[in-house]
Amino acid sequence: MATILGIDYPTLWFLVVGALFSGYAILDGFDLGAGAWHLFFRKEESRRIALNAVGPVWDGNEVWLVIGGGALFAGFPVLYASMFSAMYIPFMLFLLVLILRAVSIEFRSKEPMKWWRSLWDITYSISSILMALLLGVVVGNILRGVELGPDHEFTGHWLDFLNPYSLLVGITTVALFMMHGALYLAMKTEGRLFARVNNLLKKSIIFFIITYLLVTVITFFFLPHLTDNLLENAILLVVPVLAFLSIANIPRLVSKGRYVGAFLFSALTMSFLLILVAVELYPVMVLSTVDPAYSITVYNAASSEKSLGIMLLLTAIGFPLVITYTVFVYKTFWGKVKLDETSY
């Protein structure tokens, strides 16, 4: 099997997909979190400032989701076909709330009536929360395992995805995104709105830590298959340690008023948690709860070696361009939000 730096092609593509979804979680995570807080701001001006904080970047953030989905389809077609068939209803619901969220951002400012703006405010906030929740539910089911048969076909019912563990992971994801979004808003606001955001931020940190600890304890005691890789390879224990240190640094930096640093550690927390998911499962991508032999792995789900080689070359060319574009956009719109006639 062909390798690059001693890493085989399927594993390299697994890392590429992971990097893309990590980028999506970090970037779209804060604007979903900001949306979740939207109804907590009562004044029209405050809501406009919060909306315009994410206005220039929210659609660009979702590019990472599109690229990640495309990379998953191209590199692991078996996984793509199996999971999208199994989670058809949850993914369609996710697509619906994604569309509603985009529409609410664009439509809110089209008419001045209070009822009109209130309607889209509610739609924007609820759809942001539901998107975060559904993403967490998907991750929870991947961690827990899915009822897959001999041909990687889903043999359960779609309501099985709404199990207590996955819902708890979903709530934890909402809490993480709300903390991430509050940190972003703290960097973009000032005055009385900043004070309000700072108060909400402190509550969101507590909310996230509680839910994170619950997921950690339940995972350790009730999902032992997730700790096998960590116990067999002691060096991998550095990942949960780094995740813990990143989380611990967030309230420390917030207490010192260093919001940019806290935001960066929030982003690192997301990265380390997703890396932890990867190392807990690898080489399995989706565990079959029917029979481990039916699980989808990096190797039985991968495209041909030639296809992966071509795509890795294209990634080496395209990935720096995406990074450059993203940095340019954020540098352009850096700083506190100022409303004008072109604002939402």
* pLDDT tens-digit readout, 241-286: 999 999 999 999 999 999 999 999 999 999 999 999 999 898 999 9
Quick one: DSSP state of residue 283? Answer: T
Q: How far apart are CA 80 and CA 52, in angstroms?
A: 35
Residue type, 76: F
Ordered by start, the domain boundaries in the chain are 8-332
Cβ atoms within 10 Å, residue 313: 10
Average pLDDT, the chain: 90
| Res 132: pLDDT | 95
Q: Residue 202's closest CA among 174, 178, 170?
A: 178
123-148 pLDDT, tens digit per residue, is 999 999 999 999 999 999 999 999 98
Q: What is the DSSP string of 105-122?
A: HHHGGG---HHHHHHHHH
Helix-helix angle 305-332:63-75, to 10 degrees: 170
Flag whether the pTM goes above 0.85.
yes
Closest by CA to 136, choosing from 36, 39, 245, 51, is 36
Task: Give 205-237 pLDDT, tens digit per residue.
Answer: 999 999 999 999 999 888 888 888 788 888 888
| pLDDT computed for residue 340 by the predictor | 73
User: Letter for the amino acid at 207?
Assistant: F
Residues belonging to the chain: 344
Q: Return the pLDDT at 151.
A: 85
* Res. 201 pLDDT band, cuts 50 70 90: very high
What is the identity of the amino acid at 87?
M
